[in-house]
Amino acid sequence: MMNEKEHWNKIAPSYNDEIFDVFLSDKFKRLPKYFKKHAGLNKTAIDFGCGNGKSFPFMANLFKQVLGLDISKGLLKQAEQRGFTNVTLKQADLTKKKLVLPKADFAFCCNVIMFPVLEKNHQMIDNVYQSLKPGGTALIVLPSLDSAMFSALRLIDVYKKEGIKPMDIPKNEFDYFKANKRDLIQGLIHIDRVPTKHYSESEIKVIFKEAGFTVAAIDKLEYDWDTEIASPPEWLKDPYPWDWLVELRK
């Protein structure tokens, strides 16, 4: 397995085609509401793992200063080209112990704390905690284990309606659930062949409390079914697939 820096620099040129766009897909536009709730023109914000800066059009106008951090220089270069004058960018491996970061009022982190080496997730959560001022808020988007299971169940339902029994569904439909039980229990599900940490709601409560945060809310960022199932039928409606949107206070 490549390290994260090589992996993300390699993806950078085709990032917009390959990587799921949370902001565009956020079906009920919940993210902008949370940004507004915590915004302030005298407040500073950090986007942990900002990628090519998709959060900036939403955040830059709402805060005095935004710092975007990412491991990939290729993505940071694209982020810079967005041209926001109150956004600064810095390359950093956010899984490193004891990172020295400026203190911010607000932290945002969207689909980054999902490393298959689970220790790295804890390390990164600690770095987010350390970088927040007391009373500050962190907004974290995380893959949902429950959503992955539910989407697979709905796929079985779709086949059933077409007269195909669960046993007869092509095996590759469920390739993202690898056979290793220990991996499954720990929420390791494959997205585009990359093992990706997924979270249950209860686990979120445990790990963020252990990191020192108060969990203020665990909300859903819901997406259309076509993000999970190719050509979903008309009758497939809510509940929709989702990522967790976690609101935390220091």
Ligand X SMILES: C[S@@+](CC[C@H](N)C(=O)[O-])C[C@H]1O[C@@H](n2cnc3c(N)ncnc32)[C@H](O)[C@@H]1O
Give the footprint of ligand X on this chain (CB under 6 A): 4, 8, 19, 22, 49-51, 54, 70-72, 75, 93-95, 110-112
Residues in contact with 76: Cβ distance below 8 Å, sequence separation at least 6, in sequence order: 50, 68, 70, 89, 90, 91
Q: How are the residues of the chain apportioned to helix, strand and coil, as percentages rounded to the nearest 5? A: 40, 25, 35
Q: ∠ CA(123), CA(127), CA(130), 5° rounding?
A: 135
Cα separation, 129 vs 48, in Å, equals: 11
- Copy the structure tokens of residue 65: 């200063």
Q: How far is the CB of 210 from ligand X (least distance, A)?
A: 21
Residues in contact with 80: Cβ distance below 8 Å, sequence separation at least 6, in sequence order: 53, 89
Q: Count the helices and strands in the chain (H runs, E runs).
A: 10, 9
Q: How far is the CB of 79 from ligand X (least distance, A)?
A: 9
**Cβ distance to ligand X smaller for residue 91 or 202:** 91
Q: How far is the CB of 196 from ligand X (least distance, A)?
A: 9
**Cβ distance to ligand X smaller for residue 8 or 240:** 8
**Cβ distance to ligand X smaller for residue 108 or 208:** 108
Which phi and psi (to 5°) does residue 130 adopt? -60, -30
End-to-end CA, the chain: 35
Burial category of 231 from C-beta neighbours within 10 Å (exposed 0-12, middle 13-18, buried 19 and up): exposed
**Cβ distance to ligand X smaller for residue 132 or 140:** 140
**Cβ distance to ligand X smaller for residue 79 or 132:** 79
**Cβ distance to ligand X smaller for residue 95 or 151:** 95
Q: How far is the CB of 9 from ligand X (least distance, A)?
A: 8
Q: How far is the CB of 170 from ligand X (least distance, A)?
A: 27
- Cβ atoms 247, 216 nearer than 8 A: yes
Q: How far is the CB of 195 from ligand X (least distance, A)?
A: 14
Q: Which residue is nearest to ligand X (CB)?
A: 51
